[in-house]
Amino acid sequence: MSYEDACAYYRTLLPDTGVYKVALPWPLRDVDTHANNAYVSRLTEHAEVRSLLTTRPEYDTALVERTFREGRFSGFKPYPYMASATKGAEVSIFEFFTHEQFALANKLGAPVLMHLPRAGRLPAPENVAEIRVILDRYPNVKLVVAHFGRCFNVEYFERALELYGEDIHRFCFDTAAVLNPAVHKLALHELDYRNILFGTDFPILLWHGKREWKNGTYINLCRENFGWNKHYYPEDEPNYTFFVYEQLKNMLDLIGDDEEKKKTIFFENAKRVYFDYPQGGQQA
C-alpha cells in the first residue's frame, strides 16, 4: 500500500496516536524490486518513516551496499519468495539471503527482518540450525524474526521454545499478523518483552474479521469477498471489526496496566532497532 493510504488509515484507526512506520518493499520475484526499493527509500524524507531494503540472492554485494547506503535504508527485508514462489517452501534461508549478504549486514550492523521459510515454521529443525548459524557467524546483525516465526498457532511456538532453549533470547520477534491470544500470552510469559516488536502487517490486518485456530492451522473469517473466503458465519460479518483492532485488544488485555511494558513493546523496541540505527548503515 502507498504511504498516503497508510497515513489515511492510521489517522482513521488511531486518530489520537502518532504512528512511526517501517516501510517494506513488495518482496516478490515478479515485481520490480529496484523500483520498490527506490519508492520506500524516498519515504525516508518523512521523519516518522524508516525503510528496509529487499534483496535478491543474485544481487552483487557491492551493489547491495551502495543501494543501502545511498538509499539511507535502516535494515534488510529478505523474503523466501525470492527463492521460491511456493508459500512455506522448503528452501534454506541462505538461498534467498546469501551468506555474502549476511556478511554485509554484519559489517553494517544492520537489522534483518526475516520471514522464515518451510512448512515447519519457527521450530523446523532446519530453521533452528540456520538461525543458530546466523547468530554465531554474524553477531552484529540485529535479527528480527517476523510474525513470531510464522507461529500463528501456539503449538508451533511451544515446540520452538523447547528446541531453541536459551538461544531464543538472542534475537527479536515482531507481532505482525499474529492475532492468536495464546501465542501472545506464551510470548509475554516466556520472552523478554524488550525483544518483542509490535507490527501490523498492513494492508492484511485492514481486513474486517477474526481468526479461528484448530488442529495446528487457522481460518481467516472476514467480511471481504476474497476468492478463498467461504463466509462460514455470514450472520456475524456485519459486526466484524478490523483485524488490527483484534490484535491490539488481545495484546493490551494480556499486558494489563503495565504502562512500561506497553510503551516498550508498542514503541521503544522498534525505535531501538530501526530508528536509532544510523540511516544508510554504520561506517566501516
Strands 196-197 and 111-114 turn out to be unpaired
DSSP for 31-64? S-HHHHHHHHHHGGGSTTEEE-B---TTS-HHHH
Strand segments (E) across 36-110: 49-51
* DSSP letter, residue 151: -
pLDDT for residue 86: 83
CA atoms within 13 A on the CB side of 74: 26
pLDDT for residue 284: 61
Spatial separation of the C-alpha atoms in residues 1 and 201, rounded to whole Å: 11
- Give me the architecture of the 3-206+243-275 domain, per CATH: Alpha-Beta Barrel (3.20)
| pLDDT, averaged in runs of 10, over the chain (284 residues) | 96 96 94 97 98 97 98 98 87 98 98 97 98 99 98 98 98 98 98 98 95 93 96 96 97 98 98 98 76
Alpha-carbon torsion, ordered 119, 130, 148, 267, to 10 deg: -150
All 3 cell numbers of residue 181? 491470544
Comma-separated ranges of CATH 3.20.20.140 domains in the chain: 3-206+243-275
pLDDT for residue 162: 98
Spatial separation of the C-alpha atoms in residues 37 and 55, rounded to whole Å: 9
